[in-house]
Structure 1
Amino acid sequence: MYYVLYAFLYGLSLTPFWFIYGLADLLWLLVYGVIGYRKKVVMDNLAHAFPELSPTQRRRIARRFYRNLIDNFLEAVKLLSISRRQLSKRFVCDYSLMERLYADGKSCQLHLGHVFNWEYANADFSSKTLFSFLVVYMPIGSAAVDRLFRKLRNRFGTILLPATDMRNAMIPYRNKQYVLTLVAEQNPGDPSKAYWCSFMGRPAPFVRGPETGARMNNIPAVFVSLRKPRRGYYTASLSVGAEEPRDLPEGELTRRFVRFMEREIRQQPEIWLWSHRRWKWPYKEEYARLRIDGSGAAPGSVPGRGENDNI
């Protein structure tokens, strides 16, 4: 099965971009107009996140989101054969911050969200950094699809660490300079063990792992901003979320990232993954002790509004 799937997608990856985007337009008509893939989830998420917008304005965001969702998948297929030179034309980032951290002898963590095109970001970052470039991923249920995506994602040097065994997978890199890349607004498996914070107007749980790792190793946490100025082209910028996370109160690094993601989503909402059931866990009063935005009493948490809210 894997070889059949790989042969088909590799052949598709060799086609020119005009063909890829023509196919994407046809798939958009099918996925959005006919099937309506997760349309209720998307529209419900947009209604809660942007109550100030009219239904027409939210539908406009939804239509653009579905176009970007399909573009993201087919652009990922192109990574099976795209050259480094062509990738560099389509994904542009200033890596001076990472170069400075490497020169200082530090490792670091990259925190980003489900923003398109994270697959291009993975490929470009891994091809241009001197660090061991580590990415945490969740294995896919289908063995053939999982093998295909692992091949696609490590083509430019990415080292994939399964989230199901991350502790052991990290062992070979502990004494090396590494970048650990984390999609840091993931839904937790157990909301009673997560941080809780208002996110786009609704309480949401956030996994503790990204902050816990940064604090434990006291390595800089770098936030990744992604933009899509036009179809097929992306830019990224990097900013320090915390130079020494251990010096922060517990929960503060996560709170900073949540506020960062809110700004990112509001500036270009159509490139965030609205089909994800990000608010599937209902808030309960028993979670008040886990709040990190000033609405509860999480140990070491800081007020939800204050001098750090602009970070």
Structure 2
Amino acid sequence: MMARLVIGLMYGFAWLPLPLLRALGWLLGQVLFVLVAPRRKVVLRNLELCFPEVAPARRKRWARQSFVYFCQTWMDRGWVWLRSPEVVRRRIRLDGALEHLGDAEDCGTILFTPHFYGLDAAGTRLALETTRTVTSIYTTQPNAGIDAWMKASRARFGDVHMLNRRDGIRPIVAALRKKGILFLLPDMNFGPEESIFVPFFGVAAATVPSLSRFAQLGRARVVPVVAQVTPTGYHVRMLPAWENFPSGDATADTARMNEQLEGWIREMPAQYFWVHKRFKTRPPGEPPVY
């Protein structure tokens, strides 16, 4: 029942004019900002830790905007996952080095795609531009019907393979060595297992060094992808491949990843996934921050 309701809503959202859809997302975001107090506190705490120099009133505006972007991009998944390639291309602008997705690459490519709210739009748009195999890692949804629909929707364009985190690293490395593409989102707190502590806005953050390790094991280059919500849809930027990466030092590489991410967040602070408890895992002896 729940799966039918959610999928039905997405089909309804898919055909609404984008300005109306965004207006509904704005309204829902305002409501949730008021009603969902626990998650609002998480967002405000994250912004306080990362931007202590910013006035509280401004951080609160960013937090409110973050809820709006969360709701708008959730509703946008209707047209992102259901509308035609023509609609997707028109609404999702793609800039950058498309040659990194060409068929003549001499090595695998890792698309480092941080958790900005537009990441699903970025994945769908990029899948339209390549015939190479794209591997994406996902976390199983609690509802089996929703989980199956999300997997199929994310893989509807191109040759996309969805791998569960429990599948391990072997299929990921194998795909990269076959000159495939890996859509990687390693900037969340996945717990203490296999994480290392590196600075994120000056705060020690448990971070998986998977970007460095997959690049090393898969002999792949790293191409950052930054997705931004715009009034007319999305702007997806493919940035130049990182030089001297991996360096052979996974800790230094992971710190570099966070440092680069900080710069992009400063460009659009309300569009990062602040609803996540990024600093939940603390170094030994440090008190919780939430």
TM-score, with normalisation over the residues of structure 2? 0.88
- Could you give the per-residue CA deviations for residues 217-260 of structure 1, whole angstroms, max 9, x where no partner exists? 22111222233343533231322224652x53332322221111
Alignment-derived partner of residue 78 in structure 2: 77
TM-superposed deviation, 1:208? 2.4
Match of 1:180, SS state, is strand
TM-superposed deviation, 1:172? 7.1
For residue 208 of structure 1, what is the amino acid of its counterpart? P
TM-superposed deviation, 1:154? 1.1
Residue correspondences, number: 284
Residue 15 (structure 2) pairs with residue 14 (structure 1) = yes
For residue 83 of structure 1, what is the amino acid of its counterpart? S
Structure number with the bigger relative contact order (C-alpha 8 A, sep ≥ 6) is 2
Larger Cα-atom Rg:
1
Match of 2:240, SS state, is strand
Separation (CA, whole Å) in 1 of partners of 2:147 and 2:101:
34
TM-superposed deviation, 1:46? 0.7
Alignment-derived partner of residue 40 in structure 2: 39
5+ unaligned residues in a row in structure 2: which ranges?
none
Alignment-derived partner of residue 187 in structure 1: 189
Distance 1:37 1:144, change over 3 A: farther
| Conserved? CA contact 2:108–2:220, under 8 Å | yes
Alignment-derived partner of residue 291 in structure 1: none
| Conserved? CA contact 1:241–1:257, under 8 Å | no
Alignment-derived partner of residue 306 in structure 1: none
Separation (CA, whole Å) in 2 of partners of 1:26 and 1:100:
38
Separation (CA, whole Å) in 2 of partners of 1:5 and 1:59:
30
Distance 1:78 1:51, change over 3 A: same
For 1:24-35, what aligned pairs fall within 5 Å after superposition? Answer: 24-35=25-36
Distance 1:220 1:27, change over 3 A: same
For residue 266 of structure 2, what is the amino acid of its counterpart? R
| Conserved? CA contact 2:215–2:222, under 8 Å | yes
5+ unaligned residues in a row in structure 1: which ranges?
287-311
Match of 1:187, SS state, is coil
Separation (CA, whole Å) in 2 of partners of 1:56 and 1:132:
46
Alignment-derived partner of residue 97 in structure 2: 96
Separation (CA, whole Å) in 2 of partners of 1:100 and 1:147:
27
Which range moved further: 146-155 or 14-23? 14-23
Distance 1:62 1:216, change over 3 A: same
Match of 1:51, SS state, is coil
Separation (CA, whole Å) in 2 of partners of 1:250 and 1:22:
43
Alignment-derived partner of residue 278 in structure 1: 278
RMSD: 2.4
Alignment-derived partner of residue 66 in structure 1: 67
For 1:79-228, what aligned pairs fall within 5 Å after superposition? Answer: 79-96=80-97, 98-99=99-100, 102-157=103-158, 158-167=160-169, 169-170=171-172, 173=175, 176-190=178-192, 193-228=194-229
